[in-house]
Amino acid sequence: MTTANHVEKRGALLTVSDVSLTLGGNIILHGVNCQVEDFVGHGQVVGFLGPSGIGKSQFLRILAGLNKPDTGSVLVTEKQVPVEVGMVGVVAQHYPLFEHKSVLGNLTFAARRAGSKRAEAREKAMAMLKRFGLTDRKDFWPAQLSGGQRQRVAIAQQLLCSEHFILMDEPFSGLDPIVLDEVCKLIKETADAHELNTIIVVTHDVDAAVAVADTLWLMGRDHDQEGNIIPGARIKTKYDLVERGLAWRPDVVYTADFSDCVREVRKQFWSL
């Protein structure tokens, strides 16, 4: 097991600097700052948590390059360049796929959109099917897939488009414990397939976030001396699960440290 004392870091893969956003005269985000570092030998998984209505959806669209903030910047990749549409893949909650295309067709189309020629796109798609254990489903239609299979295809699709960055919206919603464990395992395996892979998971499931992530961000708003909310959300708390010895451990959910961290995060929610 890699411990915090032996983790080597190699620069930033995602840097959010002083991002603010106002919509319809309402301050949504104010001075958002956070950074994802490159852990040598490991992909990165960031759990992004916050109460409903706090501005998570708007922030995620900014991270994906779909919307521009009023102020601030988002830099991605080890080269730290401004984010543009297509650099960050987005896996929506219900794993939308092209229903009129086969599984292989969906992935080949994604590779073509990323610039690959026809033969190369098919080769990349087949390699991705093998990686995700879906080779025997290549000729299936999306409607013939289970929920877990759709999720794997959706992740593979976004990896072909964006290569290393994926943003997942509520991937744990409505799952029973067995399927939830499988999804957590899939996210970890996807991240560790390449040390530059960066997966940002947006969820209300604190237990799953602590189980799968190496870093947690909690978004909330400040309050004045009378306890009134100050408009504009920001990253209020960062939990470094590597330093706590909770990252990259298959048995982490059975430890006392895991339970302690989950209770700490849940308690923090009341102040957000």
Give the number of residues written for the chain: 272
Cα dihedral sign for 125, 131, 135, 140?
negative
Contact 47, 212 (CB under 8 A): yes
Spell out the SS3 assignment of 35-104. EEEEECCCCEEEEEECCCCCCHHHHHHHHCCCCCCCEEEEEECCCCEECCCCCEEEECCCCCCCCCCCHH
Mean pLDDT confidence for 7-34: 93
pLDDT score, position 213: 95
pLDDT at 19 over 60: yes
- What is the rounded average pLDDT of the residues 11-27? 95
User: Top-level CATH class of 6-98+165-269?
Assistant: alpha beta
Confidence of residue 132 (pLDDT cuts 50, 70, 90): confident
* The two structure tokens encoding residue 271: 């102040």
pLDDT band at 67 (very low <50, low <70, confident <90, very high): very high
Model pLDDT, residue 3: 46
User: What is the phi/psi pair of residue 161, to 5°?
Assistant: -80, -45
Sign of the CA dihedral 64, 65, 70, 72?
positive
Helix (H, G, I), strand (E, B) or coil at 223: strand
Q: Report the distance separating Cα 54 and Cα 222, nearest Å.
A: 12
More confident residue, 10 or 108: 108
Are residues 188 and 196 in contact, defined by beta-carbon separation less than 8 angstroms?
no
Q: Lowest mean pLDDT: which of 74-78, 90-94, 249-253?
A: 90-94
Q: Where are the domains of the chain?
A: 6-98+165-269
Average the pLDDT over 91-109 and give the result: 90
